[in-house]
Structure 1
Amino acid sequence: MPVLGQNQYGKAQVRLVRVARATRTHRLTDLTVSVALSGTLDDAHLVGSNASVLPTDSIKNTVYVLARERGVASPESFAAELATHFVASQRPVRRAVVDVEEHLWERLGDHSFARSGRETRTARVCREGGRSEVLSGLTGLTLLNTTDSEFHGFATDPYTTLAETTDRVLATEVTARWRHRAERPEEIAETDWNAAYADARRRLLAAFAGTYSYSLQQTLYAMGSAVIEDLPGVLEIRLSLPNKHHFLVDLSPFGVENGTGDGAVYLAADRPFGLIEATVLREGAEERIPTGPAGP
């Protein structure tokens, strides 16, 4: 006999651009918001009753109205407001998960912007039982070291063809999510989430640049450790680092030597790629960041 398991519903990928014009210098906020609701909603699946189902169109409209009336101080604070609203206003809803992506723009003038080529900032807030869990993060942050990276002494089998190297280009595109201590509404409201994001990002970059790497795994752990050690408000961080391989081009058929010295030429391969993933925890913390792509 079939039994209904975990279920949720909501509105995904709500696009929102908010323009603040209170001063001569305008502020542009560009977001993609996804909301997932769960609770005592089984009847919608089991008997086709929609009595407890708030239409997803209403969820979309709520995103727009709260953005207009309350503003968007940060992705984390906006996600927390939305999650709190749905749990408080809809009795059948016991749990709300809100994911926010912020798409960055570079300022050209008081009211002119260019789409930034930087990473996408992310936030997730889960509201349940009077408490909220806040995850900050980023994706699409491309980093590269031209040296201070080796890879050798690895395991081999009959199919191994990779040569050992003591000098290689190390490149990756960082996806990271980190969980904060703040859980109570007053803690979330009092936190400067923009400053907290900037602090974590700065430490990730410094650790990548400052680590002499013998493997991408070692670099990942150094990056995660820098966040945990320096930011007491962070309990865990999960990193996903693809190895964006750069191979020396064989120019010997043309009588040209192409070593690792000055002027070396590489092929930047986009696939396949190695994928290194791990979570770095504060001692005693519980690992709770979900694996896999962001989203409800």
Structure 2
Amino acid sequence: MAHVLGQNQYGKAETRVVRIYRDTTRHEIKDLNVSVALSGDLDDVHLTGSNANCLPTDTTKNTVYAFAKEHGIESAEAFGIHLARHFVDNNEPIRRARIRIEEYTWDRIRTPDNSARFIGSEEVGHSFVRNGGEIRTAQITYDGDRFEVITGLKELTVMNSTNSEFWGYIKDKYTTLKEAYDRILATQVTARWAHSWSGEETQPNWERSYTHVRRHLLEAFAETYSYSLQQTLYAMGSRVLNNRAEVDEVRLELPNKHHFLVDLEPFGLKNNNEVYFAADRPYGLIEGTVHREGVTPVIPVA
């Protein structure tokens, strides 16, 4: 029986690069984890063992480091665009490049009174603490003609301590969940959003766009009186699309971080929605995409 080589790609995964800007005494840090995947005219490397069309993965790693110096890291998206364009436009057998980036943020360490320290008239800004919050993500795909840019974040944990209900659902003989009219709503947000930019127009301000999309996600979560996490998901995606013209599609993955009231009656105590058990698993997983009418979704299901 004949065998056929199907879709394939290769590259270097998780190249860690930290770029420090030392132009002033107030240093700036960009801390990325970069994964490169390349595809194209690569049949021979699989079928005959010829490496004539194979760009070594070690070279892709070195390119990440060199570009951090030569081009700098203005944003995860801009850096990924530089890399994708380079690999496709400068290596004829390579027809498509996909760059995935995770960005880790660092906060400045300040004095106990929250004031900056100065040497002369210069602010000293070289001490940082790794932010324990969300991780920013970016995926850039380029095929020689068009770019596809998907920005995102993960591990953003949020909670509403009230303004959430869940009742009126289907009940069968296996249903034990009690209806809730005032509950905690907590989740760890994974969000990805696709941009309308394809490479022909001026690039958006990626940093500003990320900041505003993140803000709209949080504001929608906080301001929505929720009857289900699904309703909150749609409100979050819609708010981004209503306020950010550069975004065409938002995909959200929202695990329901369940908080159950603890029965305190055995101890002679009444629990007035005050003491909860935070269950880590199993958890409800709510997923969905909100996109503009007429736009074909491009964000893959994880």
**TM-score range for the pair, normalised by the shorter chain length:** over 0.9
Task: Output one character per residue of 1:25-77: Cα deviation in whole Å (capped at 9) or x when no partner.
Answer: 00011100000000111111111111111110110000000001110000000
**What are the within-5 Å matches in structure 2 for residues 233-248 of structure 1?**
233-248=246-261
Distance 2:202 2:192 in 1: 19
Cα distance between partner residues in 1 of 2:45 and 2:275: 60
Residue 142 of structure 1 corresponds to which residue in structure 2?
157
SS in 2 for 1:95: strand
SS at match of 2:170: coil
User: 1:90-169, aligned counterparts within 5 Å?
Assistant: 90-108=91-109, 110-169=125-184
How many residues of Structure 1 are paired with residues of Structure 2 in the alignment? 287
Quote how far apart the aligned CAs of 1:158 are.
1.5
In 1, distance between residues paired with 2:201 and 2:246? 15
**Alignment match, 2:225:** 212
* Cα shift readout 1:165-219 (whole Å, capped 9, x = no counterpart): 100000000000001111115523xx21000001100100000000000000000
Q: Deviations over 1:122-145 (max 9, x none)?
A: 111100132111111100100100
Counterpart-to-counterpart distance in 2, 1:54 and 1:156: 58
Q: Percent identity?
A: 57
Structure 2 runs not aligned, ≥5 long: 111-124
Q: Does 1:291 align with 2:292?
A: no
Per-residue deviation, 1:118: 1.5
Paired residue secondary structure (1:68): helix
**Partner SS, residue 278 of structure 1:** strand
Distance in 1 (CA, whole Å) between partners of 2:153 and 2:142 is 21
**1:205-244: CA deviation from partner (whole Å, max 9, x where unpaired):** 0000000000000000000000011111111010000000
User: Partner of 1:201 in structure 2?
Assistant: 214
Q: Secondary structure at the match of 1:10?
A: coil
Whole-angstrom CA distance in 2 between matches of 1:156 and 1:5: 46
Letter in 2 for 1:169: I
2:275 partner amino acid: V
Letter in 2 for 1:230: N
Q: What is the alpha-carbon distance in structure 1 between the residues aligned to residue 262 and residue 82 of structure 2?
A: 52
Where do 5+ consecutive residues of structure 1 fail to align? Answer: none
Give the 3-state SS of the residue equivalent to 1:197 in structure 2: helix
Is the contact between residue 164 and residue 228 of structure 2 (CA under 8 Å) also seen in structure 1? Answer: yes
Per the alignment, residue 10 of structure 1 pairs with 11
The AA in structure 2 aligned to 1:54 is L
Paired amino acid for 1:85: H
**Local SS of the residue matching 1:101:** strand
Once residues 15 and 62 of structure 1 are traced to their aligned partners in structure 2, the CA distance between those partners, rounded to angstroms, is 12
- 1: CA distance, partners of 2:231 / 2:247: 20
Residue number in structure 1 paired with 2:278:
268
Tell me the residue number matched to 1:184: 199
The one-letter code matched in structure 2 to 1:128 is D
Q: 2:292 aligns with which of 264, 282, 290?
A: 282
CA distance in 2, matches of 1:32, 1:187: 26
- Look up the equivalent residue of 2:278 and give its one-letter code: A
User: Letter of the aligned partner of 1:142 in structure 2?
Assistant: T
Please give the TM-score of this superposition, normalised by the length of structure 1: 0.95
Deviation of residue 259 (structure 1)?
2.5
Once the two structures are superposed, the pairs formed by residues 222-261 of structure 1 within 5 Å of their partners are 222-260=235-273
Whichever residue aligns with residue 282 of structure 2, its letter is P
Q: Which amino acid aligns with 2:53?
A: S
Residue pairs, 1:25-64, within 5 angstroms: 25-64=26-65
Matched residue of 1:12: which SS? Answer: coil
Distance (Å, rounded) in 2 between the aligned partners of 1:106 and 1:243: 29
